[in-house]
Structure 1
């Protein structure tokens, strides 16, 4: 990072993220968006205004100054709540709708699966499961699940 780097991001008094463009204009309430949030987590982050227009592009995390990266990661963490399913312990029925008891990287929980279409393959063996409340759960690699979890999952795909 060069010593003449001008900070592009700051927080205002209300805690909102503010982007300062090359002309010194302050864009209040911007938000970072990952280009590939699941398949390439560290590649490409755009800074978007409230209408969805890209104001700035970072090609990768390494290109973001440390102070700005901390603000970006804090903002993303608040918006990217996506627990990772590590184990499926039980399902109420092999028909849908069904109730699933699961273990995630954030603890045990119970979700309701409305239909088989709520299980989507993202890339390779990566799956995204949407519960009836609209929460998204990630299975990073379905081949790495335990035997019971794989068997349950296979009944729904």
Structure 2
């Protein structure tokens, strides 16, 4: 269990407040993942409202439960990245095109502006940005069904 030399709490507005060992209070602290997709539990910084790093946490799972739960709740409230499980259809193979997809959060449609909005990350992971700036994750290209992979191949 990693020892922490600070305390976390929430203010009346629900924002994180960090109190350091020497009694300095930082209001509006924000947790930031260093590797949000490749290693989401490795390397989380606690950043002040003005962007300064206040603490570095090598691993979330080594933190005391109350601190870890508070940080995970804050991260979950800020991060929105649906994971695509299946591509049901696309309006056209030219861009822009409207995609009907099944995600871990339900059915939705997205508009792909151009092929450059599909980025390969580590291994067979893809990040797809739609016209509204929402990022969709394909964690493992090989885990998609054959039809979904065929559609993606036409855009890659």
Interval containing the TM-score (normalised by the shorter chain): over 0.9
Partner of 1:147: 146
Partner of 1:91: 90
Q: How does 1:53-132 map to 2 (within 5 A)?
A: 53-132=52-131
CA distance in 2, matches of 1:6, 1:129: 39
CA distance in 2, matches of 1:87, 1:130: 16
TM-score of the pair, normalised by structure 1: 0.94
Shift of 1:6: 5.8
Matched length:
156
CA change 1:148–1:56 in 2 (3 A) is: same
Partner of 1:48: 47
CA distance in 2, matches of 1:16, 1:149: 40
Shift of 1:7: 4.9
CA distance in 2, matches of 1:6, 1:36: 23
SS class of match (1:41): coil
* Structure 1 stretch displaced more, 100-109 or 67-76: 67-76
Q: In the alignment, is the contact (CA less than 8 A) between 2:5 and 2:21 conserved in 1?
A: no
SS class of match (1:123): coil
Q: List structure 1 runs of 4+ shifted beyond 4 angstroms.
A: 4-7
TM-score of the pair, normalised by structure 2: 0.95
CA distance in 2, matches of 1:130, 1:25: 40
CA distance in 1, matches of 2:8, 2:98: 43
Q: Which runs of 5+ in 2 are unaligned?
A: none
Q: Which runs of 5+ in 1 are unaligned?
A: none
SS class of match (2:34): strand
Partner of 1:18: 17
CA distance in 2, matches of 1:46, 1:123: 22
The yes-or-no answer on 1:135 pairing with 2:134 is yes
SS class of match (2:41): strand
CA distance in 2, matches of 1:153, 1:51: 40
Shift of 1:50: 1.4
